[in-house]
Amino acid sequence: MNKELVDYIEKNIFPKYERFYSHGMIHINNVINNVLMLADYYGLNKDICYAMAAFHDIGLNVDRENHEIESAKIVADDKKLQEIFSKEEITIIKEAVEDHRGSRKSPPRSIYGKVLSDSDRDFDIELLAKRQLATSIKNYPELNTFDEHFERCYSYIMKRINDSGHFNLWTDNPILIERREKFEIDYLDKEYARSVYKKEFDRISQDGTYEQILNYYLDY
Ligand SMILES: [Fe+2]
Ligand SMILES: [Fe+2]
């Protein structure tokens, strides 16, 4: 991979995720690992994949509801990316970032967009509970009880089941499909899902993370 790109992103982009909780560096590193795995599988340009993963949630503290648009604007305006990539490559990165949302109903415009979107899914119930509860606490401060948060989180994710009865994936990589299968067994057992979310909710209520999500972290 291009060393100049990696250095630039490590020094200038990753620090911008420092005060993000659900979308902090654990999430960004997971997405990077997934896109690089899929880049191998589909024979894609790894520099493009790395850049799109590194930038994809960067617009979150500008405007959560349209963060994919804000992230894409940051990609388009980035001087260093313009030095490293051609115009066509910047367009691929920008469009992939713009198309990454899991709630999107139409397919991303390119294979890069599909790879990024699928790499952004949490097919891990513990990780999903952690990220989703934080998002719920930040965005819905009017919800008070665990049950209110859990029901909102659960119905939100269940909307992502597609016509074939699975959580949507745009690509057909066997590793992601296997992860999804395991995740579906966990998640579709609602009582089990509730127990995982409850454990996480109790943990963050007791260790001060709940207050930090409201008062310190910047992402939604
Ligand atoms: Fe995102
Ligand atoms: Fe993300």
d(CA 34, CA 37): 5
d(CA 19, CA 61): 10
Q: Give the chain's length.
A: 220
Q: Which of 98, 119, 140 is the last residue of a domain?
A: 119
Name the token pair of 6: 């990696």
| Range(s) of the domain holding residue 47 | 3-119
Among the bound ligands, name the one nearest to the CA of residue 131: 2
Distance 128 CA to ligand 1 centre (A): 13
Q: Which of 119, 143, 168 is the last residue of a domain?
A: 119
Distance 28 CA to ligand 2 centre (A): 7
Say what the pLDDT of residue 199 is. 98
Tally the domains of the chain: 2
> Among all chains, which residue has been given the structure tokens 């991303």?
108
Same domain, 7 and 101: yes
Same domain, 107 and 14: yes
Low-confidence residues in the chain, pLDDT < 70: none
Is position 220 within any domain?
Answer: no
d(CA 122, CA 179): 9
Among the bound ligands, name the one nearest to the CA of residue 116: 2
**Domain CATH number, residue 65:** 1.10.3210.10
Is position 210 within any domain?
Answer: yes
Among the bound ligands, name the one nearest to the CA of residue 98: 1
Is position 209 within any domain?
Answer: yes
Distance 20 CA to ligand 2 centre (A): 11
Name the token pair of 119: 């790499």
Is position 33 within any domain?
Answer: yes
Distance 98 CA to ligand 1 centre (A): 9
Name the token pair of 85: 């990539």
Distance 57 CA to ligand 1 centre (A): 5
Distance 177 CA to ligand 1 centre (A): 21
Same domain, 82 and 179: no
Q: Which of 86, 119, 152 is the last residue of a domain?
A: 119
Distance 117 CA to ligand 1 centre (A): 9
DSSP 146-157: HHHHHHHHHHHH
Say what the pLDDT of residue 83 is. 98
Same domain, 209 and 137: yes
Using DSSP's 3-state secondary structure scheme, residue 44 falls into coil
